[in-house]
């Protein structure tokens, strides 16, 4: 009975910490911001407009409903990009708390990913509006597909962010390398182009990109209500692998966090 009570208390403490850090991230991000949440939607929409003009109106890419095609890839990409881009400074930005309070440090990046995940979920209604404006509508498969894909992307994003956040404390150049990594990964991921446009000789490189099956799945789910189970399994495998690597690296380095901050 004591063990059960202690576990319940630890779980409640863990949840309370996540809520506190998530609220903190929200307050910091939107401090003195008039538009607030709209910026989270506006950023990928602005990108969509630029790519639509460049690739649909000027280069005339043969993709139907290209504006909708773009935002179905840009919104999940924005979640990943925002979280990973912020990860190098996530422990450094909370140095005072880490030094003074003893708690699981990996809660901090966890709360960051959760915060960006919530913004992604809140952006789904925008996709629904675009669907109806294009003569399409949501599918019942979303009920199953969205939670599974969110889980896969959360694990992948959290794992990569934990790796970067932990190593950056000891190798500060990783902050700049992360920016380069995100930019390269964006163009290597079929966000503004279709995976079918890639020559067959480069398909292996496309599959080695852990974001590829996720973006393909999100787009297939939002546009056609299709759940590509083989790609979902691949996405979950990538998520589990990176999460495991992230937790191992964090465990090996976390005991030195306070002394290097």
Q: Structure tokens of 15?
A: 């949840």
1 vs 25: which has the higher pLDDT = 25
Which letter does DSSP use for residue 222 in this model?
H
pLDDT in tens, 151-204: 999 999 999 999 999 999 898 889 999 999 999 999 999 998 888 888 888 888
Q: How many domains does the chain have?
A: 1
pLDDT in tens, 3-59: 454 545 665 655 666 666 666 655 555 555 545 556 666 667 776 777 777 777 776
40 vs 219: which has the higher pLDDT = 219
Handedness of CA 49, 128, 44, 146 (dihedral sign): negative
Q: Structure tokens of 217?
A: 């799945």
Q: What are phi and psi of 175, to 5 degrees?
A: -60, -45
The four Cα atoms 53, 214, 143, 47 give a dihedral, to 10 degrees, of -20
Q: What percent of the chain has pLDDT over 70?
A: 80
146 vs 173: which has the higher pLDDT = 146
Q: Mean pLDDT, to the nearest integer, of 87-98?
A: 85
Which letter does DSSP use for residue 226 in this model?
-
Q: Mean pLDDT, to the nearest integer, of 75-79?
A: 93
Q: Rounded CA gap, 70 and 190, in Å?
A: 10
Are 153 and 237 in contact by the 8 Å Cβ rule? The answer is no
- The angle at the Cα of 94, spanning 97 to 115, to the nearest 5 degrees, equals 115
Domain of residue 216, residue span: 2-260
Q: What is the pLDDT of residue 28?
A: 58
Q: What is the pLDDT of residue 218?
A: 96
| Cα–chain center distance at 212 | 13
pLDDT value at 234 more than 90: yes
Q: Rounded CA gap, 181 and 88, in Å?
A: 12
238 vs 197: which has the higher pLDDT = 238
Give residue 78's pLDDT band: very low, low, confident or very high (50, 70, 90): very high
Counting Cβ atoms within 10 Å, is residue 176 exposed (0-12), middle (13-18) or buried (19+)? exposed
Q: Mean pLDDT, to the nearest integer, of 135-152?
A: 94
Q: Rounded CA gap, 145 and 104, in Å?
A: 31
Q: Which residues contact 15 (CB under 8 A, 6 or more apart)?
A: none
Q: Rounded CA gap, 56 and 170, in Å?
A: 45
Are 225 and 142 in contact by the 8 Å Cβ rule? The answer is yes
Q: Rounded CA gap, 102 and 87, in Å?
A: 21
Give residue 2's pLDDT band: very low, low, confident or very high (50, 70, 90): very low
pLDDT value at 129 more than 50: yes
**Mean per-residue pLDDT over the chain, rounded:** 84
């Amino acid at each position: 009975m004591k063990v059960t009570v202690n576990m319940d208390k630890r779980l409640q403490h863990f949840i309370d910490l996540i809520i506190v850090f998530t609220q903190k991230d929200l307050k910091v991000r939107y401090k003195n911001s008039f538009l607030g949440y709209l910026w989270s939607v506006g950023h990928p929409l602005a990108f969509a407009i630029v790519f639509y003009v460049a690739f649909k109106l000027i280069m005339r890419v043969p993709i139907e409903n290209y504006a909708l095609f773009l935002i179905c890839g840009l919104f999940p990409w924005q979640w990943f990009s925002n979280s990973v881009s912020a990860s190098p400074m996530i422990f450094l930005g909370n140095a005072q708390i880490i030094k003074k309070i003893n708690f699981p440090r990996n809660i901090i990046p966890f709360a960051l990913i959760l915060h960006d995940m919530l913004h992604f979920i809140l952006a789904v209604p925008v996709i629904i509006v675009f669907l109806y404006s294009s003569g399409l509508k949501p599918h019942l498969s979303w009920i199953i597909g969205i939670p599974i894909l969110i889980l896969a992307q959360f694990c992948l994003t959290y794992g990569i962010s934990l790796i970067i956040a932990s190593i950056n404390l000891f190798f500060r150049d990783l902050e700049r390398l992360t920016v380069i990594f995100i930019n390269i990964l964006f163009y290597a991921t079929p966000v503004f182009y279709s995976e079918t446009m890639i020559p067959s000789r480069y398909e292996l490189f496309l599959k080695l990109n852990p974001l590829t099956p996720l973006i393909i799945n999100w787009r297939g789910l939002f546009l056609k209500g299709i759940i590509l189970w083989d790609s979902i399994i691949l996405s979950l495998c990538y998520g589990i692998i990176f999460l495991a690597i992230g937790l191992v690296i964090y465990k090996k380095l976390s005991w030195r966090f306070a002394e290097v901050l």
